[in-house]
């Protein structure tokens, strides 16, 4: 008999409630859970694809290892023994730092697996570590640390009360996870626009821009020019006040001196009237709440734009105040229960082959991985659920480097180009097969925690990631955490591992398991935030690394000639998440302005060869005046039109290790029918 299992989606961090109809071991239907206390039935197409993802025709259900160039399925004992012996041999000969770890999004959504991955990494004494942070998000950690004195200050818009909202390079209509935390974004954005105004800054008129009051389309990566000018106007007007103490205002004033409207408009490539109108709106509402996304953080101007966004929130009195930005106090770790330490230096040692580039909060730049392998520094890689080939920069150099690894172990549920390159493939329980909690609590839009049971039994030989990792540790002679269940297949074993994560949380694991969703009222404004800022002497408005960056950027902009004729920006698609869910059919397309398309004799539906100095891909043309001339939009995560063939490991932000994924100059040419290979155009 079919029955319904209530669960939560773990494709992104938005944590929508879903209802899975299960018949035997088949998931026959997935829909939004209308009784869910948070999402109330909302899901996006990705969440409703959880069943199709589970029954994927390329699902990995048995462990495998490379033998004579072929993947051969084998039992867990054989694969784990072999992998442990090879990792141990690498460590014995080259030391633990020869084993790299990638904390990918796959295990990133598996609470017990992720924590065991950390235990493994810690037991090896913190060898090279990579994560999606240096793929799309370092600017946020940088500015939280430098300006707020703590890297974990995770600011979110008070969507219930905001009246003047400025979105910069963020598209919550498509990307709900991370900090946007929106269920049903159209109704939320429409409600804000009816209450006040929503402005969107993006070279593309995105789905979010379509719902906004006004849209400004600057050159890629130049948002900081608009915000920098706005900030100077805000300061000079004397009409606004911070809600907390500040330090460094005099230095900031000097740094922004003379940054006039004409300069900002020229750098950003926008009309001066657009800036005037934006400033008038800020005055009209007595302040502005600025929210940024990966359109900013993947661009060259990421650090400056994120800095100025925070300063506008601070100096117009919107930080930690109603209608502005609130800070998540954490559900598992209760940040409001102790005095936050001052942590205003996020920089950590980076990769030896990139000595001029910082590491950040323990992460090495993802761009350094190929060079580290080629140099013989990294000889084995433990890939915890990452699709490296489609997410790391410069696949041109990455793929040959990955082939040179002595050992490359990948935890995964669906075959892809990265598993094909791996020496060991370790199938883990997918989200429908394991119980889990929403352990990225600070990324969600409320002070809450979710628990979901397993909906179906694991397929084939899939095992819990925590069990696989702990078995490896024990076989390698590393200290595994105490009191582990012997076997993940024992009743209650996975739950016991989840209960360990909840020590010190705002509710017990038992309470959570009984209720499925536990929410706590949140103090807003949070006294813990104001207290922390007062203890560090006020928001740090003018950190020296950012002043230096601003000075260098102003000089470079002043010397700059005309922008490149055409450059590309990244894009997420509603029916795809990074490298996964390709079966939902989102096209590998390139959005081109009619002017740029006409200049290259390209029409909608044509195949377009896109090239940089690094490589080329073929995409389908989508000619549209939704994008400004001189800019093209390319989605990421497509298999055979992998945008990372266009990026370069040489283009790295020295401050944070972030690779440039936006504003990269490209050349385009129509592909004639007789030179087209179908494999080169579809994702
Ligand atoms: S918004 Fe995120 S959590 Fe919600 S259904 Fe979509 S992918 Fe799942």
How would you classify residue 648: left for phi > 0, otherwise alpha for psi between -120 and 50, otherwise beta? beta
Same domain for 664 and 605: yes
Ligand 1 binding residues, C-beta < 6 A: 9, 11-12, 14-16, 43-44, 46-47, 176-177
**Partners of 157 in the β-ladder:** 325
User: How far apart (Å, rounded) are the C-alpha atoms in residues 268 and 659?
Assistant: 21
> Do residues 169 and 91 both lie within one domain?
no
Nearest to 520, CA basis, from 337, 317, 321:
337
Give DSSP secondary structure letters for 288-306: -EEEE-HHHHTSTTHHHHH
Per-residue pLDDT of 4-44, as tens digits, reads 999 999 999 898 999 999 999 999 999 999 999 999 999 99
Residue 620 domain boundaries: 562-681
Pairing of strands 664-665, 197-201: unpaired
Cα 185 to ligand 1 centre (Å): 12
The confidence score (pLDDT) of residue 135 equals: 92
If one residue of 18, 19, 43 were mutated to test the ligand 1 pocket, choosing by the most ligand atoms within 8 A of its CB, it would be 43
The candidate with the shortest Cα–Cα distance to 390, out of 132, 99, 628, is: 132
What does the pLDDT read at residue 357?
95
CA 48 to each of CA 27, 42, 99, 401: distance values in angstroms, whole numbers, following the listed order: 11, 10, 37, 37
Q: Are residues 121 and 254 in the same domain?
A: no
Nearest CA to ligand 1 atom 2: 12
Backbone angles phi, psi at 239, to 5 degrees: -90, -5
Distance 242 CA to ligand 1 centre (A): 35
What is the pLDDT, as a whole number, of residue 1?
86
Q: For residue 451, is it within any domain?
A: no
Q: Is there a domain that residue 443 lies in?
A: no
519 in a domain, yes or no? no
Cα 585 to ligand 1 centre (Å): 17
Q: Are residues 617 and 478 in the same domain?
A: no
Residue-wise over 40-60: b if at least 16 C-beta within 10 A, else e? ebbbbebbbbbbebbebeebb
Q: Is residue 96 part of a domain?
A: yes
Residue 56 CA to ligand 1 center (angstroms) comes to 19
Largest CA distance in the chain: 72
Domain boundary among 33, 54, 75: 54
Considering the domain architecture, whether residues 320 and 173 belong to the same structural domain is answered as yes
CATH of the domain at 575: 2.40.40.20
Tell me if 548 sits within 8 A of 554, measured CB to CB.
Answer: no
Same domain, 584 and 674: yes
Q: Tell me: do 411 and 387 sit in the same domain.
A: yes
For residues 383 and 399, membership in a common domain is answered with yes
pLDDT in the model for residue 681: 39
Tokens of 545: 């690394």
The predicted structure's pLDDT at residue 682: 36
User: Which ligand 1 atom sits closest to the C-alpha of 39?
Assistant: 4
Q: Which residues of the chain have pLDDT under 70?
A: 177-180, 674-683
Asked whether residue 445 is domain-assigned, the answer is no
State whether 44 and 97 are in the same domain: no
- Which residue owns the Cα nearest ligand 1 atom 5? 47
Atom 6 (ligand 1) nearest CA: 44
Distance 512 CA to ligand 1 centre (A): 21
Residue 17, by phi and psi: left (phi above 0), alpha (psi -120 to 50) or beta?
Answer: beta
* CA separation, residue 434 to residues 47, 570, 650 (Å): 16, 33, 40
In a domain, 657, yes or no: yes
212 and 318 in a single domain? The answer is: yes
The verdict on residue 268 lying in a domain is yes
Name the burial class of residue 612, with classes exposed (0-12), middle (13-18) and buried (19+) by CB atoms within 10 angstroms of its CB.
Answer: middle
Model's pTM, two decimal places? 0.96
Q: How many domains does the chain have?
A: 4
Q: CATH number for the domain including 217?
A: 3.40.228.10
* CATH number for 488: 3.40.50.740
Question: Are the beta carbons of 180 and 303 closer than 8 angstroms?
Answer: no
For residue 383, tell me if it sits in a domain.
yes
Residues 38 and 170 grouped into a single domain: no
Are residue 550 and residue 566 in the same domain, yes or no? no
């Amino acid at each position: 008999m079919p029955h319904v299992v209530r669960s939560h989606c773990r494709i992104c961090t938005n944590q929508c409630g879903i209802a899975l109809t299960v018949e035997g071991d088949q998931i026959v239907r997935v829909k939004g859970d209308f009784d869910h206390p948070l999402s109330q039935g909302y899901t996006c197409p990705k969440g409703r694809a959880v069943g199709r993802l589970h029954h994927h025709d390329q699902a990995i259900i048995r462990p495998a290892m490379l033998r004579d160039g072929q993947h051969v399925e084998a039992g867990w004992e054989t694969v784990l023994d072999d992998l442990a012996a090879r990792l141990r041999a690498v460590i014995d000969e080259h030391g633990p730092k020869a084993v790299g770890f990638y904390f990918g999004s796959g295990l990133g959504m598996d609470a017990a697996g992720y924590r065991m991955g950390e235990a493994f990494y810690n037991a090896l004494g913190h060898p090279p570590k990579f994560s999606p942070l240096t793929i799309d998000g370092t600017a946020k950690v940088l500015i939280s640390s430098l300006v707020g004195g703590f890297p974990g200050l995770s600011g979110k818009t008070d969507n219930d009360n905001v009246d003047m909202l400025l979105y910069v390079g963020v598209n919550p209509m498509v990307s709900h996870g991370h900090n946007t935390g929106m269920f049903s974004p159209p109704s939320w954005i429409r409600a804000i626009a009816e209450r006040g105004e929503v402005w969107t800054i993006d070279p593309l008129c995105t789905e979010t821009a379509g719902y906004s009051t006004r849209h400004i389309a600057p050159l890629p990566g130049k948002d900081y020019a608009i915000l920098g000018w706005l900030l100077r106007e805000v300061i000079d007007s004397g009409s606004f006040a911070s809600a907390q103490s500040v330090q460094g205002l005099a230095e900031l004033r000097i740094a922004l001196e003379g940054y006039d409207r004409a300069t900002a408009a020229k750098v950003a490539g926008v009309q001066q009237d657009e800036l005037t109108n934006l400033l008038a709106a800020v005055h009209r509402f007595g302040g502005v709440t600025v929210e940024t996304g990966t359109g900013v953080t993947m661009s060259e101007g990421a650090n400056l734009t994120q800095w100025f966004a925070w300063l506008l929130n601070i100096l117009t009195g919107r930080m930690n105040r109603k209608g502005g930005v609130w800070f998540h106090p954490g559900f598992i770790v209760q940040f409001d229960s102790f005095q936050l330490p001052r942590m205003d230096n996020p920089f950590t040692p980076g990769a030896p082959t990139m000595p001029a580039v910082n590491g950040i909060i323990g992460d090495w730049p993802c761009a350094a991985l190929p060079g580290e392998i080629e140099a013989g520094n990294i000889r084995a890689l433990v890939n915890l659920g990452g699709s490296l080939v489609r997410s790391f920069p410069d696949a041109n150099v990455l793929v040959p480097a990955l082939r040179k690894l002595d050992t490359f172990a990948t935890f995964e549920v669906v075959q892809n180009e990265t598993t094909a390159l791996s020496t060991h493939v370790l199938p883990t329980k997918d989200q429908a097969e394991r119980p889990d909690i929403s352990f990225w609590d600070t990324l969600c839009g409320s002070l809450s925690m979710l628990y979901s049971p397993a909906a179906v039994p694991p397929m084939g030989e899939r095992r819990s990631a925590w069990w696989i990792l702990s078995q490896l540790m024990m076989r390698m002679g590393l200290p595994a955490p105490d009191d582990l269940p012997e076997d993940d297949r024992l009743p209650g074993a996975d739950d016991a591992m989840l209960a360990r994560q909840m020590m010190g949380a705002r509710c017990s694991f038992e309470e959570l398991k009984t209720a499925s969703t536990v929410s706590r009222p949140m103090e807003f404004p949070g006294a813990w935030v104001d207290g922390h800022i007062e203890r560090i002497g006020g928001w740090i408005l003018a950190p020296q690394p950012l002043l230096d960056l601003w000075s260098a950027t102003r000089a470079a902009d002043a010397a700059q000639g005309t922008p490149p004729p055409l450059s590309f920006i990244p894009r997420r698609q509603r029916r795809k998440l990074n490298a996964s869910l390709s079966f939902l059919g989102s096209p590998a397309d390139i959005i081109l302005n009619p002017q740029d398309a006409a200049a290259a004799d390209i029409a909608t539906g044509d195949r377009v060869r896109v090239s940089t100095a690094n490589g080329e891909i073929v995409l389908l043309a989508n000619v549209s005046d939704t994008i400004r001339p001189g800019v093209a939009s390319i989605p990421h995560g497509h298999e055979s039109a992998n945008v990372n063939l266009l990026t370069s490991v040489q283009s790295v932000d020295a401050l944070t290790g972030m690779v440039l994924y936006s504003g990269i100059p490209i050349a385009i040419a129509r592909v004639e029918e007789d030179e087209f290979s179908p494999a080169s155009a579809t994702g």
